[in-house]
Amino acid sequence: MKTSKPITATCQDISKRMATGLLISLLWVAVLSSGCATTGFIKKFDQAKISQIKEGETTRAEVEQLLGPPTWCSMNPLTQEITLGYFGDAHVDRPIHEEVTETAIAVLLFPLGALVPLLLPHHGTFKNQTVSVTISVDGKVTKISRQLRQSTGVSRLFQPSIYGNKIDFAKVAQIHEGETTTAELEKLLGVPQLITEESHEVTWTYQWNWQKGKQHQQESVVVTLDPQGKVKKLTKDSWRGTTRFYGNSSVPLDRNNLLRIQVGKTTREEVERLLGQPRSESVMEREAMTQTSLHYLRQLKKERFSCSEQVFIMLDANGVVESIN
């Protein structure tokens, strides 16, 4: 019987996934806290217009002419590339009995009824699409990515928040590169929480997240598919850890200082001397290693809409830089 290779996520994979996850999480906080779709925030995508965007040809001005102003944007201070993000087709379902229960208790406990929605468990199914377009320094599109995110979750005040389904790694072991089809993959693991479509590949992501305060746990399986719909590459990851937030800084990220950071040489102390205090720090513990991710985020004031420059720096157990993205 053939067994799949033990593949774990690389530092670069982890950093990119964390960056994407952060942006999506921030958007969902905004949606769920507002409770409605605001003009210019949630869009109904015109697929015909998206198909007109061509890598290496379409300019940023043409992208905005086709899709309008983005929901958010992010700049990589190292490469000077800008990613424009469009958030659309959002849908959040909650069981009707929750709505009825909250309303009834709110009436009975008035004026304390305002606290009820915070105390009761919130179960929900959410689904949304995003389109992100990366623009190079010369102003041309270098990459366009479409994502469909669908998941279930439960959250309650003073209790853990849980999103997605626990991953059965015994079933993951039955997935074989070059053999397993999408139908077999879905039979083993179910519907993926995230589907990412780019010009050269399609990726399915299965993910389970547990969070309570600063404590985090995550399990994930990322499957890249070949043009025939078979598994081309599989990476799996499982970790637990903590995240600490230090707050935002108005000091811009100095590109010259960023370029002085060297993988395998620069220490955390030197990173903070060059860039200052990070916005947040995440410590991730795995069976074989412990890593620390420093997240630097600065708001860009020159853009017409919400835009930031950010970089993730991964440190090894000795506090030396492993990767920078």
For 48-71, how does the pLDDT look when each residue is reduced to its tens digit (9 = 90+)? 999 999 999 999 999 999 999 998
Question: How far is it, in rounded angstroms, from Cα 278 to Cα 268?
Answer: 11
286: which 2 tokens?
């795995």
Contact 225, 184 (CB under 8 A): no
**What is the rounded average pLDDT of the residues 149-162?**
82
pLDDT at 31: 43
Q: Phi first, then psi: give them for residue 18, nearest 5 degrees.
A: -65, -40
**pLDDT band, very low/low/confident/very high, at 186 (cuts 50, 70, 90):** very high
pLDDT at 180 over 50: yes
CATH topology for the 246-325 domain: Beta-lactamase Inhibitory Protein; Chain:B, domain 1 (3.30.1450)
Q: What is the pLDDT of residues 223-282, one digit of tens each?
A: 999 999 999 999 999 999 999 999 877 778 899 999 999 999 999 999 999 999 999 999
Q: What are the tens digits of pLDDT across the range 118-137?
A: 555 566 777 889 999 999 99
Instruction: Give residue limits of the domains in the chain.
Output: 11-245, 246-325
pLDDT at 89 over 80: no
The strand ranges marked E within the chain are 72-75, 82-93, 122-135, 141-155, 161-164, 194-197, 202-212, 215-225, 231-245, 280-285, 290-299, 307-315, 321-324
Contact at 8 Å (CB) between 127 and 24? no
- Give CA torsion, residues 36, 60, 199, 130, to 10 deg: -10
* Distance between first and last Cα of the chain: 39
pLDDT above 70 covers what percent of the chain? 74
Confidence at residue 47, expressed as pLDDT on a 0 to 100 scale:
86
